[in-house]
Chains A and B, each alone.
Chain A
């Protein structure tokens, strides 16, 4: 097991191994998302309070969950990179940022569109859940801007890792914001005392969407890490061989 992990952390092995698993992640994720979308839109009963507007949950919750998951991956990878100087972990942190930013954007937009018919407003300044999620978008953008501003990859890795770690306090704040302060945002639906607050016909599509989005996110992340690895190893022999033998874009 350790041998496998060690081997995987070596850039050329990672590059080859990830190419094999990305299609599987993308395939399984797509199937789950197609099922979840269909079942969520057409099979699940409408909510007794929210009517059919509740169906936005099927894209909003996976996006919001992954926006925080991406930040956690980014912060943990950055920490591992700082402490143990594992090359691959800085590549993972750098790759997670743009995806995290997109999923945060998606969570904010779908939340806003859901908020309009339910709360009567697109946005509420000062609401803890909304504001802390928006702050995370700015953290991602700041992280990417900082990296872009530093030409030296090693220095960019270190500086951006510190920013990622400082910003990490925001993740639990987002998570617990609906419990700590009063918020327009509803409380947890799935993981809560007394079990999920929805019938299985509503719950299964949601779980499929969360799992499916996670697989798709995994495929996207691995793809971005491959690009990072390629760039960082551009002077290595294996990259030269890969590029010159015309393995082509892949």
Chain B
């Protein structure tokens, strides 16, 4: 492996830490988006149900 990426033998430790950090950040972004869209959908569904009732 290229010396720059081998990290003096600590490559597996260093890269896994940066990898998991990226994964957690992506989860945070996606989870936030999903919840926001779900909330919007729930509200609009409730409003529509109310409209058809009245």
Contacts and interface: CB of A to CB of B under 8 A. Distances in A.
B54 interface: no
A234 B44 CA distance: 9
- B interface, how many residues as a size bin? 20 to 34
Interface in A42-57: 42, 46, 51-53, 55-56
Interface string B28-41: 11011101110111
A117 B13 contact: yes
Q: Is the interface of B mostly helix, strand, loop or mixed?
A: helix
B43 A51 contact: no
A55 B36 contact: no
A56 B15 CA distance: 8
Contact of A106 (B16, B20, B39): B20
A56 B13 contact: yes
Nearest to A247: B40
Interface residues of A, number: 40
A239 B43 contact: yes
B21 A63 contact: yes
B20 A231 contact: no
Interface of B: 4, 7-11, 13-14, 16-18, 20-21, 24-25, 27-29, 31-33, 35-37, 39-44, 46-47
A244 interface: yes
Contacts of B10: 51-53, 55, 117
A96 interface: no
Contacts of B27: 102
A129 interface: no
B36 A220 contact: no
Contacts of B46: 234
Contact of B7 (A55, A106, A223, A244): A55
Nearest to B6: A52
Given A46-B8, A109-B20, A223 B40 contact: no
